[in-house]
A and B are shown apart, each in its own frame.
Chain A
Amino acid sequence: MLGCRRHARLLDKSRDAELSTREALFLANHESRCERCAALAEADWGLSVLREQAFPEDLELSPQFTANVVAMVRVDRGRERVSYWAPAMVGATVAAIAVMVMLQLFSRANAPAFTNSPVGEARLDRSAEPPAFPNLDRSSDHK
């Protein structure tokens, strides 16, 4: 029917602002002629019911609400601090390992070569005379 769209627009407007007399008259007029729009206008009451179903402003919260949030924030900050320092810690550990490996390699390079067999050879020369030992026996002096 002619005017249904205008009716819908004005019905909407009436929820946000006061309608002019002319607009209000148009609504009443149209609703008397159009059954569908009259029904919709009546259903506007549903939107008022919806508003009445809003939770109260002094909605009771669990007594632990704030304490829970503060605890969650504290844990989060701790995690954040760890994740902030983690790259630096990993970097420092890697650097320390690198320094130790380099020191190890450097000290090995300068050390004498180590083998299990001696460089020189020891031999017993049987052809030579046995060394003469001095006689330390004191009894022969008294004779």
Chain B
Amino acid sequence: MFGTRAVVNPVSDTLSDDLHWLERCRQGDDAAVTYLVNKHRNRLVRTAANILRDRFEAEDVAQDAFLKAFRELHRLRDDRAFASFLYRICVRLCMDRLRSKRAEPAEFDGVESSDGPQIETRIVVEELLETLTPELRMTLVLREMEQLSYEEVAEIMHVPIGTVRSRLHTARERFRHLWLDANKETA
């Protein structure tokens, strides 16, 4: 039904100039850090926002992900994999946030009728996502919203591709059931 978007592919989208800037980054060059942040920030924040459904929290997480990536640059064996290294860190941080949020009681203030149907739909989607486990939610978001391939989801989540398949199947099925229930309630 849809393929992966070549332009936004974070795993294979590694430009050769990353290598040059990473080398400069290791030498403590602030300009190199600025370049790499500017290059990857939009995509990283968008991914975190889709997972967390909060753009401000997503910015926090993305900043932490950059910091961690630059701190752990010595662990990166192949500089061409910097993008996927960065995304893995970001996704892991998002997962930690989702897990800690799950421990807290859910907060829902309801929807003002003046907010319109679009906002209502957005809130329903967010509520449904919240009922999924962090692993299922992450898989669903990376595949459906980020439109990553199964291989990319597997690499980012550091799980075998078979696990991605089964998680995605479960997540989709559960989401469909939840969607039906939610629409029955509002009908």
Contact = CB atoms under 8 A, between A and B. Distances in A.
Interface stretch (B14-22, B106-114, B169-177): B169-177
Contacts of A73: 30, 33, 66-67, 70
Given A44-B176, A65-B63, 8 more contacts: A40-B176, A43-B180, A50-B144, A57-B8, A57-B42, A70-B33, A72-B66, A73-B30
A105 B31 CA distance: 55
Interface residue range, chain A: 35 or more
A53 B176 contact: no
Contacts of B38: 66
B71 interface: yes
B154 to A, nearest CB: 14
B46 A69 contact: no
- Main secondary structure, interface of A, reads helix
A46 B46 contact: no
Nearest to A62: B59
Contacts, number: 116
Interface of B: 1-2, 8, 28, 30, 33-34, 37-38, 41-43, 45-46, 49-50, 55, 59, 62-63, 66-67, 70-71, 121-122, 125, 128-129, 140, 144-147, 168-169, 172-173, 175-180, 183
